[in-house]
């Protein structure tokens, strides 16, 4: 009698399982975890990972989407929840700094676009959704004007400054968590001078 066919796993559920394994591998090995490391953690071969995610950048995007959702409070909710733009910017930066501090290897994996993908900084997996929310807040919170392309460039530049500032801070911790948040919020809100207006 032939053996019963193994039930097929839902593709979304299978991707979630593999993303869980990737997160475990990144936490264990570090941000430079390879597809081989991730496949070994999942108990599968590399071609299975490529089948589900396309490439390492696709896997990084899937993990990024998950952690953006798991941060609990989206930028949109933060920006809509206050009449004080500076406070909203500081709160959004604090959420990001808290995540990076709690998950430094995942932060590096996601922000750097995952090691070995050859992606340019503008193609980092977490940037597009965040940048769209930042661009919208530039208009509603700060009254920024400009074309969609101009707002997109500004929002990408702001996110890049925050990402790089947090990455640098994780290496040396020359400021407290709160000082970092305030410094970055001042930079975002007040430009290169950084200091709050008097």
pLDDT of residue 7: 56
pLDDT of residue 144: 87
Domains contained in the chain, CATH given: 11-66 (1.10.10), 73-191 (1.10.357)
pLDDT of residue 128: 73
pLDDT of residue 70: 63
pLDDT of residue 115: 46
44 contact partners, CB below 8 Å, separation of at least 6: 18
For every one of its 198 residues, what pLDDT tens digit does the chain have, with 9 covering 90 and above? Answer: 555 554 567 888 999 999 999 999 999 999 889 999 999 999 999 999 999 999 888 888 788 777 766 664 567 788 887 789 999 999 989 988 998 999 999 888 877 655 444 455 455 556 677 778 888 888 888 888 889 889 889 988 888 899 899 999 999 899 999 999 999 999 999 887 666 655
> Using one digit for the tens of pLDDT, what is the confidence trace for 155-165?
888 888 998 99
pTM listed for this prediction: 0.78
CA–CA gap between residue 57 and residue 189 (Å, rounded): 32
Give one DSSP letter per residue of 26-83, joined into a string: HHHH-TT--HHHHHHHHTS-HHHHHHHHSSHHHHHHHHHHHHHHHTSS-HHHHHHT-S
> Residue 3 class from Cβ within 10 Å (0-12 exposed, 13-18 middle, 19+ buried)?
exposed
């Amino acid at each position: 009698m032939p053996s019963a066919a193994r039930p097929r796993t839902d593709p979304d559920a299978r991707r979630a399982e593999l993303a869980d394994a990737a997160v475990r591998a990144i936490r264990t090995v570090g941000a430079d975890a390879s597809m081989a490391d991730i496949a070994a953690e999942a108990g599968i071969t590399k071609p299975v990972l490529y089948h589900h995610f396309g490439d390492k950048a696709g896997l990084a995007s899937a993990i990024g989407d998950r952690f953006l959702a798991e941060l609990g409070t989206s930028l949109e909710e933060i920006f809509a929840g206050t009449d004080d733009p500076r406070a909203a910017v500081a709160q959004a930066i604090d959420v990001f700094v808290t995540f990076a501090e709690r998950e430094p290897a995942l932060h590096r994996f996601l922000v750097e676009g995952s090691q070995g993908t050859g992606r340019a900084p503008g193609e980092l997996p977490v940037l597009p959704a965040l940048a769209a929310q930042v661009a919208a807040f530039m208009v509603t919170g700060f009254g920024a004007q400009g074309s969609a392309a101009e707002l997109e460039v500004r929002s990408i530049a702001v996110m890049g400054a925050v990402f790089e500032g947090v990455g640098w801070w994780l290496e040396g911790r020359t400021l407290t968590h709160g000082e970092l948040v305030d410094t970055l919020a001042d930079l975002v809100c007040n430009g290169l001078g950084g200091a709050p207006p008097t």
